[in-house]
Amino acid sequence: MPIAGLFDFAIGLRQHGRISDLRSQISDLRFQISDFRSQISDLRSQISDLRSQISDFRFQISDFRSQILSRHYKALSIPHPGGVPEMKYTRFEDLPVWKDAIQFAAQVYHLTRRSEFRGRYSLRDQIERAAVSISNNIAEGFERGTTQETLTFLYISRGSSGEVRSMLWLLESLSGFNDLRSEISDLKSKALSISRQLRAWADSLQNSEIRGQRYLTNKGKRATREAREREEFLEELRQMQEHAKVPSQEETT
């Protein structure tokens, strides 16, 4: 074989060796990519499990909170204006369930501003309207002045809460909302808590013989006002007594 031919043959072998090394490196890189994808898949699975655990924990918190609020409403008898002497609320703005409903509606609006809702105008409009309806019906029922009307609006409010919760379940099942699962799960828990608070309030009203503010006579209104003022005075007196029990800094030194 001529020298030039041997030289070309040697160069070919060298290039072949480089190509072989390059192929080996590519193979190693593919293996690393495959391993990385497997790790990402495992991580996603762990995140999904963690989200499920968080969701379960939120539901447990919601149940516990609902139980506390249920006892709270029963202890207060009827949180309705002019209803009973032990009534604590005279404005719907002070009701814990109304405050929760307002906060819930604000969070729903925050959710619907996300890019996932672009082009889904009817879906966004319906869930926003239902969310706002919860607090609005609580307020209207509270201001109506009769127990029966309050009950009616409480059940309307509870129905709106259920409507929102149903739509949240729908969003959770749609592939386009996968990145919002955590927020959706949190809203479902809060909607359930609101529904249970409304149920506890409605149950206390159904067991009451008080017909409401509109049916109170002047004498009854005066007795209710005096009872409320007496409670406020006793509360101030109790706070003064507790304050007097606290030793001053001079006494402790």
172 close to 142: Cβ distance less than 8 angstroms: no
Task: Please report whether residue 185 resides in a domain.
Answer: yes
10-residue stretch averages of pLDDT, the chain, 253 residues long: 53 61 77 84 78 70 59 44 47 91 96 91 94 95 85 94 95 90 92 93 76 51 59 71 60 49
What pLDDT shows up at residue 45? 75
What pLDDT shows up at residue 175? 87
Q: Which helix (H) or strand (E) holds 94?
A: none
Task: Please report whether residue 208 resides in a domain.
Answer: yes
What pLDDT shows up at residue 110? 94
Number of domains in the chain: 1
What pLDDT shows up at residue 215? 47
The half-sphere exposure of 234 on its side-chain side, counting CA atoms within 13 A, is 7
Task: Please report whether residue 7 resides in a domain.
Answer: no
What pLDDT shows up at residue 170? 93
Task: Please report whether residue 233 resides in a domain.
Answer: no
Tell me if the pTM is above 0.85: no
Show the DSSP H helices in the chain as ranges: 3-75, 96-112, 121-144, 147-173, 181-206, 218-245, 249-252
Alpha-carbon dihedral sign for residues 219, 221, 224, 227: negative
What pLDDT shows up at residue 171? 92
What pLDDT shows up at residue 84? 33
Amino acid at 192: L
Q: Counting Cβ atoms within 10 Å, is residue 152 exposed (0-12), middle (13-18) or buried (19+)? A: middle
What pLDDT shows up at residue 72? 46
Task: Please report whether residue 251 resides in a domain.
Answer: no
DSSP-derived secondary structure letter, 76? T
Backbone angles phi, psi at 89, to 5 degrees: -110, 130
Domain span at residue 161 reads 51-226
Domain of residue 153, CATH code? 1.20.1440.60
What are the angstrom distances between the C-alpha of 241 and each of 71, 168, 227, 252? 27, 50, 21, 19
Residues 176 and 31: their CA atoms lie apart, in Å, by: 31
